[in-house]
């Protein structure tokens, strides 16, 4: 009998994973915020995933953090700023050697969760898949991609990667997951804040090439200083390539701001600036960028952390 996949957070990525695991006949349970959300979910008859215009509903069982039953495997699919508290609410149900898969973007939240649960195995993930919530309990699979998973402390891949294979979740076990997360953080820092400040699509950053190049140079210095030279390699050319390849898109941070949602700034630019300060590295443009972004978020009445 397969171990149950508990999925914490019924948002875009949580639904995308839960629906595909359930479709493959694997045992999945969805953990919702509270009894109100659970009651709402129960009237919907399951999670709906829309793929290439076709909608399918999967009757995944819902529960809340105070439901009974131990948790052996937990997919944490909430935003970085919610991860620590969401996991804390479940601590009493986690077996000592539980496995957690942390899907958060940026850096900082993963270490915080791992420190909270020293006996658990925390697997960090970095995903290029894209999904968005069309309405409650209904998610659109918007962009095919890949998920890299890794554990900096134990390089042995877990056996349950077979479940991901069976569920058709494209993935790869990575022995350098921190490098991947740092690289993605650097890309996000070079692109996302500028799209908010200039209120533009990614492609319009081609009109701000000098500013992008200056940020990339500072980010590369930071990566080197943080012991991540591989993440610094050809950073500027990759940023330029991503800007071109995603020219018509709005960045995830732009979309959060446009939707008046909290951003993950503290786990992206905030994390980068703090790491620079720890290393006494002066990165004036990155720091200025953070100050401008914080001002912009505050002016819009959004949290700046």
Please state the length of the chain: 305
Closer CB to ligand NAD, residue 78 or residue 289? Answer: 78
Nearest residue (CB) to ligand NAD, 36 versus 227 = 36
Own/partner pairs, 193-196, CB within 8 angstroms, 24+ separation: 193/253, 193/265, 193/269, 193/289, 193/290, 193/292, 193/293, 194/289, 195/250, 195/251, 195/253, 195/254, 196/251, 196/253, 196/254, 196/257, 196/263, 196/293, 196/296
> Which x/- pattern over 125-154 shows residues binding ligand NAD (rule: CB under 6 A)?
--x-xxx-x---------------------
20/24 Cα distance (integer angstroms):
6
Q: Determine if 196 is a binding residue for ligand KPL (CB under 6 A).
A: no
Note whether 202 binds ligand NAD by CB under 6 A.
Answer: no
- Of the residues 79, 93, 183, 184, only one is catalytic, namely 184
- Closest listed residue to residue 233, CA positions, set 176, 170, 173, 275: 176
Cβ atoms of residues 46 and 59 within 8 Å: yes
Q: For ligand KPL, which residue of 4, 179, 188, 236 counts as binding (CB under 6 A)?
A: 188
Taking residue 277's Cβ as centre, other Cβ atoms within 10 Å add up to 12
Residue 192, contacted partner among ligand KPL, ligand NAD, none, CB below 5-8 A by kind: ligand KPL
- 184 is known as an active-site residue: yes
Neighbours of 82 (CB within 10 A): 17
Q: Write each residue from 34 to 53 as x if it is in contact with ligand NAD (CB under 6 A), else as -, in one continuous string.
A: --------------------
Neighbouring C-beta atoms of residue 207, cutoff 10 Å:
10
Residue 133's binding partner out of ligand KPL, ligand NAD, none, with CB under 5 to 8 Å set by partner kind: ligand NAD
Say whether 153 sits in a helix, a strand or coil: coil
Binding partner of residue 80 among ligand NAD, ligand KPL, none, CB under 5 to 8 Å per kind? ligand NAD
The two most distant CA atoms of the chain are separated, in Å, by 56
d(CA 236, CA 252): 20
| Minimum CB distance to ligand KPL, residue 148 (Å) | 14
- Residue 268 binds ligand KPL (CB under 6 A): no
Catalytic residue ranges: 184
Instruction: List contacts with ligand NAD (CB under 6 A).
Output: 8-14, 31-33, 77-80, 82, 85-86, 89, 103-105, 127, 129-131, 133, 264
Instruction: List contacts with ligand KPL (CB under 6 A).
Output: 187-188, 191-192, 242, 246, 251-252
């Amino acid at each position: 009998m397969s171990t149950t996949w508990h999925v914490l957070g019924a948002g875009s990525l949580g639904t995308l994973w839960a629906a595909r695991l359930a479709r493959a006949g694997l045992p999945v349970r969805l953990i919702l915020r509270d009894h109100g959300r659970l009651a709402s979910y129960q009237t919907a008859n399951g999670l709906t995933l829309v793929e290439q215009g076709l909608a399918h509903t999967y009757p995944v069982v819902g529960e809340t953090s105070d439901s009974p039953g131990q948790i052996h495997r937990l997919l944490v699919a909430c935003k970085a700023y919610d991860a620590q508290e969401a996991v804390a609410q479940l601590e009493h149900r986690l077996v000592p050697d539980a496995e957690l898969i942390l899907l958060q973007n940026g850096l900082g939240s993963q270490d915080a969760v791992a420190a909270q649960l020293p006996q658990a195995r925390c697997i960090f993930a970095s995903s290029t898949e894209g999904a968005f919530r069309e309405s409650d309990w209904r998610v659109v699979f918007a962009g095919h991609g890949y998920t890299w998973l890794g554990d900096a402390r134990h390089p042995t891949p877990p056996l349950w990667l077979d479940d991901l294979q069976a569920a058709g979740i494209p993935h790869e076990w990575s022995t350098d997951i921190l490098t991947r997360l740092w690289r993605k953080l650097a890309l996000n820092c070079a692109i996302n804040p500028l799209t908010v400040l200039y209120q533009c699509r990614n492609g319009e950053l081609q009109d701000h090439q000098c500013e992008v190049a200056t940020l990339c140079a500072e980010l590369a210095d930071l990566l080197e200083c943080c012991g991540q030279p591989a993440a610094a390699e050809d950073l500027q050319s990759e940023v330029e390539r991503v800007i071109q390849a995603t020219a018509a898109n709005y960045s995830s941070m732009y979309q959060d701001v446009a939707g008046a949602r909290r951003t993950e700034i503290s786990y992206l630019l905030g994390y980068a600036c703090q790491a620079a300060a720890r290393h006494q590295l002066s990165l004036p443009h990155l720091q200025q960028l953070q100050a401008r972004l914080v001002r912009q978020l505050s002016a819009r009445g959004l949290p700046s952390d």
